[in-house]
Chain A
């Protein structure tokens, strides 16, 4: 099951199947009039089952773009479709992992109850919830924290809870906003590998936002690079590194280094 993605799958040309999500000429102006152009005519597809990394400098509009993709706010112009239907409002089929986990978990609910929130949203019967929650706790390595409150957990654990809650939604796409940005390097690497294994297991479609270009390459099937002022896509690369990936070996792979050089240059504005 873990070998769901073959290299051919990942590199099939766009258009061979309906994309999971399609972003067409999306622009966003905030404030004003005249206002400030935050995102400028952004177009791309998220392919079915792919892990798409979106990398860009701080303030370039990554979070804003993700909010548009989630349906939390509408674009000023352009259109976003998910599985062929226009995105107008948030949907349980699109799970969001928020950048700021301290404000994304309900502090008065235990870890179990936070995960159960998604099940409540889906109308899963009470009797069934406990089993589902138990399975997710196990999957995310949270069993011993089940009865704890978010305020008692480390950042890494809290982010695990957020991911578990998203999985409980049984979404068809995961939208992740710098989920590991606030974590220390070790925790971060651990979670990166867990997330990759999870995505492979579940054949998940993921749009993963980060400002860390190594993380973008390491995790992604493709990487989009955003530039700031206004936010726009300036580059797209196919990563083409085989899976499963390895924290040391993959990062030492010449192709990894080549991507890294290229993206580094772009992010510096050369």
Chain B
């Protein structure tokens, strides 16, 4: 009961705002100020959503997009931690890599798509490569910063306990850099979702992005909005999931006593 009322107090305002927004949308659509061809009522969008959920097409598409996003994000995170870790902990690695990375970083990921298509075709691996390229930067910079923070005290501890370089990385450096890595990874995940949708649109790969694109092409506006709502829900859930994971892993950072 108290948990319920606490949840109500905490989330009540947000729920109210969403309800008001939907109400306004519905009202405007009912007035038909704008043609329903471009601006369908939310009730129609939700009907469409329910329909595609019941015939299974929603789940197939959503799952395709989620897999694409997660795949690209995992690639980006793994590569970002390795490269960022190298830059952060080794002067030599930084001297070699940093200028090239500084050159590549401002390149918009969507501008990479033609190159990726040239090499990998209109394929899922092309999409993964583009997503990984675009999403790598926040996690890479986070890792570089996290590993670069000097921790002389901990170095002495590692040396005193006769830990070698591998164990130094594994037991000291990586966990110490974890907060920076995770905050980068969260931004990377948002970018990965964006790029999953963009590559689907550009390369006709199955997924919500492709569905939205096709709906727009054939003026099925209710379907278009249904796709957008589904994307929004995915982004929301995934971001919250990662935030919860972060709180768990980094629980040591919140003094509780």
Q: Which of A1-9, A88-96, A194-202 is the interface stretch?
A: A88-96
Sample (19) of A-B pairs whose CB atoms are under 8 Å apart: A70-B160, A72-B156, A72-B160, A90-B161, A92-B162, A96-B156, A98-B157, A100-B153, A103-B151, A103-B154, A106-B157, A107-B252, A108-B250, A108-B252, A109-B175, A117-B171, A148-B257, A151-B255, A152-B255
Say how far B221's CB is from chain A's closest CB, in angstroms. 50
Q: Contact: B255 with A98, CB < 8 Å?
A: no
Per the 8 Å Cβ criterion, residues 110-150 of A in contact with B are: 117-118, 120-121, 148-149
A-chain residues with CB within 8 Å of residue B250 when the two chains form the complex: 108
Residues of chain A from 74 to 103 with CB closer than 8 A to chain B in the complex: 89-92, 94-96, 98, 100, 102-103
- Which chain B positions have C-beta within 8 A of A22? none
| Pairwise interchain contact B256-A152, C-beta atoms closer than 8 A | yes
Residue B172 is within 8 A (CB to CB) of chain A in the complex: yes
Q: Tell whether, in the assembled complex, residue A104 and residue B162 are in contact, meaning their CB atoms are under 8 Å apart.
A: no
Q: Please report the C-alpha to C-alpha distance between residue A257 and residue B251 in the assembled complex, in whole angstroms.
A: 49
Bound together, the chains give a CA A70 to CA B256 distance in angstroms of 35
* Contact of A90 with B253 in the complex, beta carbons under 8 Å: no
- How many residues of B sit at the interface, in one of the four size bands? 20 to 34
User: 0/1 per residue, B69-106, Cβ < 8 Å to A?
Assistant: 00000000000000000000000000000000000000
Query: With an 8 A cutoff between CB atoms, is B112 at the interface?
Result: no
With contact pairs A98-B153, A151-B252, A152-B257 given, residues A106 and B160 touching in the complex (Cβ less than 8 Å): no
Is B159 in the interface zone, CB < 8 Å from A?
yes
Is there a chain B Cβ closer than 8 Å to A159's Cβ? no
Cβ contacts under 8 Å, A151 to chain B:
252-253, 255
* CA–CA, A39 and B123, complex, Å: 67
The 5 closest A-B CB pairs, nearest first, are: A103-B153, A121-B161, A149-B252, A152-B257, A90-B160
Chain B residues within an 8 Å CB radius of A95: 160
Q: A106 with B172: in contact, given A121-B163, A169-B161 (CB under 8 Å)?
A: yes
Q: Is the interface of A mostly helix, strand, loop or mixed?
A: loop
- Does B169 lie at the interface of the complex (its beta carbon under 8 Å from any beta carbon of A)? no
> With an 8 A cutoff between CB atoms, is B152 at the interface?
yes
Closest to B156 in A: A72
Q: How far is the CA of A186 from the CA of B215 in the complex (A)?
A: 74
What's the minimum C-beta distance from B155 to chain A, rounded to whole angstroms? 9
> Using a CB-CB cutoff of 8 Å, which residues 230-246 of chain B contact chain A?
none
The B100-157 residues at the A interface (CB cut-off 8 A) are: 151-154, 156-157
Q: Do B152 and A103 touch across chains, with their CB atoms under 8 A apart?
A: yes
Count A-side interface residues using an 8 Å CB cutoff: 28
Task: Enumerate chain A interface residues (CB-CB to B < 8 A).
Answer: 70, 72, 89-92, 94-96, 98, 100, 102-104, 106-109, 117-118, 120-121, 148-149, 151-153, 169
Known: A106-B154, A106-B157, A152-B255. 8 other contacts (CB 8 A): A72-B156, A90-B159, A98-B157, A103-B152, A103-B153, A109-B175, A117-B171, A153-B257
Q: A72-B159, A151-B255, A152-B257 are in contact. Are A108 and B175 (CB under 8 A)?
A: yes
Contact assessment for A92 and B151 in the assembled complex, using a CB-CB cutoff below 8 Å? no
Q: Among B152, B161, B175, point to the contact of A92 (Cβ < 8 A).
A: B161
Q: Is the CB of A104 within 8 A of B157?
A: yes
Q: Roughly how many angstroms separate A72 CA and B157 CA in the complex, as a whole number? A: 10
Within the complex, the shortest CB–CB distance from A133 to chain B, in Å, comes to: 15
**Complex alpha-carbon distance, A108 and B151, angstroms:** 14
B178 contacts partner chain A, Cβ-Cβ < 8 Å: yes
Residues of the A chain whose Cβ atoms lie less than 8 Å from the Cβ of B257: 148, 152-153
Among A72, A91, A121, the one with the most B-chain Cβ atoms within 10 Å of its Cβ is A121
Residues of B within 8 A of A92 (CB): 161-162
Closest Cβ–Cβ distance, residue A181 to chain B (whole Å): 15
* 8 Å CB interface, B159-191 against A: 159-163, 171-172, 175-176, 178
C-alpha spacing A96/B155, complex, angstroms: 13
Known: A72-B159, A90-B160, A148-B257. A106 touches B175 (CB 8 A): yes
Closest to A169 in B: B161
Cβ contacts under 8 Å, A149 to chain B: 251-252
Q: How far is the CB of B156 from chain A (nearest CB, A)?
A: 6
User: If the complex has contacts A107-B252, A152-B255, are A98 and B154 also in contact, measured as CB distance less than 8 A?
Assistant: no
- What's the nearest-Cβ distance from chain A to residue B31, in Å? 57
Nearest opposing residue in chain A for B176, CB measure: A108
Chain A residues with Cβ below 8 Å from B175 are 106, 108-109
Knowing A148-B257, A152-B257 are in contact, say whether A104-B153 is a contact too (CB < 8 A): yes
